[in-house]
Structure 1
Amino acid sequence: MRWPFPLVALCGALSVPVQALFETTYHSSSVVVQPFTILEKSPLYDPDNTNLFLVCPNGLEVAEPGAAIYKSNGELVWAESSFGNCYNFNYQTYDGQQYLTLWVGAGGAAVGSQMGFGTVLMMNSSYDVVMNVSAVNPEGTDLHEFNIVKPENKTVLVTAFHTIPMDLSSIGGPVDGWYSNDIIQEIDIATGAVLFNWTTFDHVALTESYNNISLTGQGFTEDNPFDAVHINSIDKDLEGNYLISARHTQTIYKIAANETILWRLGGKMSNFTALGKGTEFHFQHHVRWRMDETHISVFDDGGAFIATDVIIDEPVATGKYLKVDQEAMTVSLTKQFIPGPNRNYTLAEGSTEPYGDTVVVGYGYTPWTQAYSFDTEELLFSAVIGPDNASLWNDNGINNYRAFQTSTLEFTGHPKLPPNVSVTDGAIFVSWNGATHVASYTLLTGPSVWDVSKKVTKVPKSGFETKIKSAGSSEFIVVAALAANGTTLGKSAVYRTSNGTVASD
């Protein structure tokens, strides 16, 4: 096949990427982020820029990984890098309240010593961490899943991995080998109690795996166990059965509450007959029940890393809706969302998530976030994390595990810290990290710390950071943030115009 870019560049064989090459900095904030570059946007898509995209940029090009929220015009709304590694940033309902949820911890999506060990944070609309949730597992909570179960919204599905001894001689490995045992758990969020626990060791044969032990060299040490299954998503149906996606067996499993595997879709042992073309998927991610559980959505990566090799089964990664007839045991393709303006496979990660009459597809290792009409499958919006050529970087550039969305109609971010101001080269810069509904800023001035009330000017908010001319200011200034209706949402501290220092809290 024809490669969309050189394989040696993708594998990083020629050069090591320069760290943080394209990151953006600001005068009034310590936030350092990659840009969210708009590639295409239909005039009919989100004309008021109310949609908010939740992403976690990671990779060697990201000096300070963390969570970020962007508007559909590319404007940064909120970013936080103190978390360290961050994955799976979402907006979910728990017990009648809305929360921002994200996995934080050390490591990444690999196994063994490189595995992600962490926990999941739940934040309120002021970005306070109000609780955290973890799997009951010696090696902590894995980053791949944190799915609050609907419609009750009281329990959550999480992934974990635990390295155990295992005889791998049947697949060419050592007798005294090591195996990465995938675990899925359903946890009661309020109590932390494990309500369901299921492991691949007990249910999935080694022969189902497409992972090649002789190629990867896995399984010979505890630090590098054989990653046979690699669960990356969990869902639950209304009857209490579990739906899991396993990347390395390229299979979707339906599991009963008694832990029995009810059927397999895809892989080497599929129980379904395909009707028509396009039902296959390779190294898939983010599998969910849709449309009253008659369909399954899936992100079809089309390719993967196996050790240092790149396997390409499909030239283009897509989001798909598959109609699953569990009586006739047939599967057919009903929706397929194709990337644009560029097309490429994805070597890991990705998501497919509906929002109203649109579907948002995140392309994972290829750091695109794209929105489509659900009815027509037409591409309405396309953005990339980083510069507009980021899709051509090697695998160590930027990646974003999943892309989720909310909107300013649902989520009102109101940080507890006030707007931040910088006086630089005679200009005033103001930003308010996390405030979602600021429409304008008013500059106030006065002769003393206790008298800063004279209005100098009012300017519309322009991006994450707004520049205000300082002409007309006296010794002290305050900047007020206003909503569209003129309501004051918050005020900065009092600053000295002479040197930009804070005169009072």
Structure 2
Amino acid sequence: MYDASYELKYTVTSEGLHNLADMHDFVTTPNGTALLVTYEQVSPWDTTSVGGKPDDEIMDAVIQERDIATGDVLFTWRLSDHYAINETMVTYADYGMRPGGGGFDFGHVNAVSKTAEGNYLASFRHLCAILLVGPDGNILWSLGGRRATDFCYQHDARFVNPPRTEITLFDNAHMSTAINRTLDRDCSRGLHLRLDYEEMTAEVLREYYHPSRVVAAAMGGVQTLGNGNKLIAWGFQPSITEHTAEGRVVMSLQLGPLVNDGQGKGGGKGPQVYRAKKVKWVGRPGWGPSIAGYPRGSERGVYLSWNGATEVAGWAVRLVRAGFETFAPLEASPRYVRAAAVDKEGNILGSTDAVDMDTGEVVRVNGTVTQVVDPGDVNENDMATGKGGAEGAEGDMEGAATGRLGSKAGGEVWMVVAGLSFLVCLRIL
């Protein structure tokens, strides 16, 4: 677990099991605990009921809750204590003993969350079922499986309302990957269900389909946004869509070509989207921004980035000339270029070192850019004398560490910088 500066704060994994925590889910709770899922190899195990061997191995599905700060194990639950392996929806031929071992994966847990009452909602892909497990480990109810509903191989089951009468999930539907399916039942979908605890029934409130009518053999997720929209990740199909509550697609993002190979467990070889989340995250990395020169004739320029910094709305580029000059337009060819990252209010978040535009070499600069100003505040006398652009500028790269940035109407950005005895105004369109 990392903080907003990307510093490692905690390392949490399973405890007391034969295997470490799995990547399928990791959820924190308001009580300072973490929910983990683990696929634990257990042997010997009789798998003859599914076509296996008397002395075999299974891959059990385990849920564990741990205190993040102390590491205490608060809850451990095993699927094999409650389900027989022949209740699975997959075959031993496909998910039994494979090269390298692993055991028969009869349950395949891929999502877990905890309610305010202390119950655990968990999704088991190979059972095609969602279970609600009580604090004592007993199963309170199950949704799906061999006895009910028409979803299967699902992912990311979550309660979406405080009474916990509604659930969203990603219904993979099939163990194949393709596009342009004609029938709804052949497509993967986002699914929003209402639960009736008196009648013990589930009602479909809304189905969300991909514009290209895709089916994804694995992965996928559904997030309910604050405005009621649904953000859907399409798993083996490298796509993310956002839908209104009524089902209209308002955003479609594709990270690679859609897959139409009919392949099952292995999926495509391109990008995949296990889940997608829209969150309010503010990252303030402990490292500074980066700059790289592009010193190629008339195409001279710089590349700027600050990996992990989420508040950067623009860049102020600072020029330090190799010779005397009082004004340099954007089209000029500076010897050295430096930049500062600014937020949407124009506040400086951090600054780069300088880059030598003749060689492309990044030159270490002591100090940071600290001031911003509208160019209208700098008069002609200041420009002639070099005042106002940088305090204490010494004329070399270490001294020329401060610049001033401002914005003009129409989205124009200006920057004032200083050298030994000159001040450069740069206009960025």
TM-score of the two chains, using structure 2 as the length reference? 0.75
1:483 to 334, 337, 343: 343
- Which amino acid is 1:197 matched to? T
Please say if residues 285 and 350 of structure 1, whose CA atoms lie closer than 8 Å, have aligned partners that are also in contact: yes
1:390 to 255, 258, 268: 258
Per-residue deviation, 1:470: 6.4
2:48 to 154, 169, 176: 169
Per-residue deviation, 1:447: 5.0
Other-structure match for 2:310: 436
CA–CA distance in 2 between the matches of 1:440 and 1:237?
A: 42
The 1:480/1:227 distance shift into structure 2, 3 A limit, reads same
The 1:322/1:255 distance shift into structure 2, 3 A limit, reads same
Tell me, what secondary structure is at the counterpart of 1:321? strand
Other-structure match for 2:373: none
Counting only pairs closer than 5 Å after superposition, residues 394-413 of structure 1 correspond to structure 2 as 395-406=268-279, 410-413=280-283
Counting only pairs closer than 5 Å after superposition, residues 102-251 of structure 1 correspond to structure 2 as 122-136=1-15, 137-149=17-29, 152-165=30-43, 166-213=45-92, 215-216=93-94, 218-219=96-97, 223-251=101-129
Q: Structure 1: which 5+ residue stretches go unaligned?
A: 1-121, 271-278, 307-311, 458-468
The 1:481/1:454 distance shift into structure 2, 3 A limit, reads farther
CA–CA distance in 2 between the matches of 1:219 and 1:484?
A: 56
Please say if residues 95 and 106 of structure 2, whose CA atoms lie closer than 8 Å, have aligned partners that are also in contact: no
Other-structure match for 2:359: 499
* Structure 1 residues 29-67: Cα deviation after superposition (integer angstroms, max 9, x where no partner): xxxxxxxxxxxxxxxxxxxxxxxxxxxxxxxxxxxxxxx
Per-residue deviation, 1:221: 7.4
* Structure 1 residues 182-240: Cα deviation after superposition (integer angstroms, max 9, x where no partner): 11011111112111100112111112101111x22613777141010111111222221
The range that moved more, 283-292 or 430-439, is 430-439
Other-structure match for 1:91: none
Per-residue deviation, 1:359: 1.3
* Structure 1 residues 288-309: Cα deviation after superposition (integer angstroms, max 9, x where no partner): 1121201111110111269xxx
Per-residue deviation, 1:437: 2.5
CA–CA distance in 1 between the matches of 2:5 and 2:331?
A: 30
Q: Structure 2: which 5+ residue stretches go unaligned?
A: 178-182, 262-266, 366-429
Q: CA RMSD in A?
A: 2.6
CA–CA distance in 2 between the matches of 1:325 and 1:455?
A: 73
Aligned residues: 347
Tell me, what secondary structure is at the counterpart of 2:146? helix
CA–CA distance in 2 between the matches of 1:245 and 1:301?
A: 13
Other-structure match for 1:350: 220
The 1:378/1:305 distance shift into structure 2, 3 A limit, reads closer
CA–CA distance in 1 between the matches of 2:95 and 2:239?
A: 32
Which of structure 1's runs of 4+ aligned residues deviate more than 6 A? 451-455
CA–CA distance in 1 between the matches of 2:326 and 2:289?
A: 18
**Which is greater in Rg?**
2
The range that moved more, 362-371 or 216-225, is 216-225
